[in-house]
Amino acid sequence: MDKIITEANFKEAFLAYGFDDVKSCERYGSGHINDTFLLIENSGDKVILQRMNTMVFKDPEMLMGNVLKVTDFLKTSIEKEGGDPKRETMSVRLTKDKKPFFKDSDDNYWRVYEFIDKATGYDSVKRPKDFYESAYAFGKFQRYLASFDASRLGEVIKDFHNTPKRYERFLQVVKEDVKGRAKTCQKEIDFVNARAKAMSEATDMLKNGELPLRVTHNDTKLNNVLIDDKTGMGLCVIDLDTVMPGLSINDFGDSIRFGANTAVEDEPDVSKVSLSLELFECYAEGFLKGCGGKLTDNELKMLPVGAKLMTLECGMRFLTDYLEGDVYFNTKYADHNLVRCRTQFALVKDIEDKMDKCHEIIKKVSNH
């Protein structure tokens, strides 16, 4: 975020939350959107203090309303199953005025979460077991919230995973070609256009009542699940900023896009890019076990399609940003977004080639 946090800002936030005796307050974690700090009081109590990024999240009050509704519901569901709601979901600490956020005199929005100790979030898949555990945690998230009316939640980022809307935007950007870059990536533009019909497959099913509207996380990376240090089991789904109404197949698909790719997200050598069927099966097993039979038959059939759509959408977003002049994603070199897009499209092609095998895996692990 561009706006510097002053000492006075911190003091206001400390006062609002009743932090009278602060031992330390240091930057924490690997997130790039919000400003995150681990605050330790002299008593030894730890909390996560965050300044929310209002450039990304335009309505932080609605966002925190979503978080409270979801975490309150999760706590009840966890307690019913005999779990520990203090460790198995995030807990929002209220201000002294009983609000889930604090707005300081410089219009910064602050929030506080209770710190979950003896648990770790991993940035990349080092062991298949961790991928499985993250899948189980995200599946359990779906199971716990299966009876929650998703329409109660606000849309934090409008049309975030509305692939047809993303495609409309892409076509407009190609037409305008403000940086004159279209000629350098015609092959990639053609790749997207050849899949125009596929873009609306899932959203059409939602409109027709063939897929249910669910509470979705929308950022199902491995590092958004805390793994218990002692048991090695998936403990808690974190980073609930993009929790909103959506499709379960998108949450599944984004995890596959991120975690079952044999190459990194910006691998220049696309010959290294492929879908690991072993990791696909590993994730599918964990996710469906966590879901506990709450997904419909149509959702099960569409899970592999979700992997294709989320990868296609992500590649299209990289290509859109490249054509606009790299205004959204941070880049390290001139063609970084183009390289990223090519990596995603190579993965899309491999998913398409392995689609039948993916469907067979889902049938096997779901006993359908």
pLDDT given at position 162: 94
Helical spans, DSSP H, in 118-221: 128-144, 163-176, 186-193, 201-207
> What would the pLDDT profile of 116-171 be if each residue is shown by its tens digit?
999 999 887 778 899 999 999 999 999 999 999 999 999 999 999 999 999 999 99
Q: What's this model's pTM, rounded to 2 decimal places? A: 0.93
**CA dist list (Å): 127 to 123, 133, 200, 282, 283:** 12, 10, 35, 11, 12
Is 1 inside any structural domain?
no
Q: How confident is the model at residue 2 (pLDDT cuts 50, 70, 90)?
A: low
Q: What is the CATH number of the domain that holds 41?
A: 3.30.200.20
For residue 268 the two structure tokens come to 């220049």
Pick from 55, 51, 35: which is nearest to 104 by CA?
A: 51
For residue 119 the two structure tokens come to 């648990």
3-state secondary structure of 22: strand
Is 122 inside any structural domain?
no
Domain boundaries, position 100 = 7-115
Is 184 inside any structural domain?
yes
Say whether both 216 and 73 belong to one domain: no
Is 210 inside any structural domain?
yes
Strand partners, 49: 37, 112
Say whether both 33 and 65 belong to one domain: yes
Say whether both 262 and 133 belong to one domain: yes
Say whether both 350 and 205 belong to one domain: yes
How does DSSP classify residue 312? H
1: pLDDT strictly greater than 60: no
Say whether both 177 and 243 belong to one domain: yes
Average pLDDT score over residue span 5-33: 93
Say whether both 294 and 359 belong to one domain: yes
> What would the pLDDT profile of 170-195 be if each residue is shown by its tens digit?
999 999 999 999 999 999 999 999 99
Say whether both 91 and 215 belong to one domain: no
> What would the pLDDT profile of 316-351 be if each residue is shown by its tens digit?
999 999 999 999 888 999 999 999 999 999 999 999
Q: Whole-angstrom Cα distance, residue 193 to residue 138?
A: 32
Is 2 inside any structural domain?
no
pLDDT given at position 304: 98
Q: What is the CATH number of the domain that holds 342?
A: 3.90.1200.10
Say whether both 330 and 185 belong to one domain: yes
Total structural domains in the chain? 2
Say whether both 181 and 291 belong to one domain: yes
| Final residue of a structural domain among 88, 115, 142 | 115
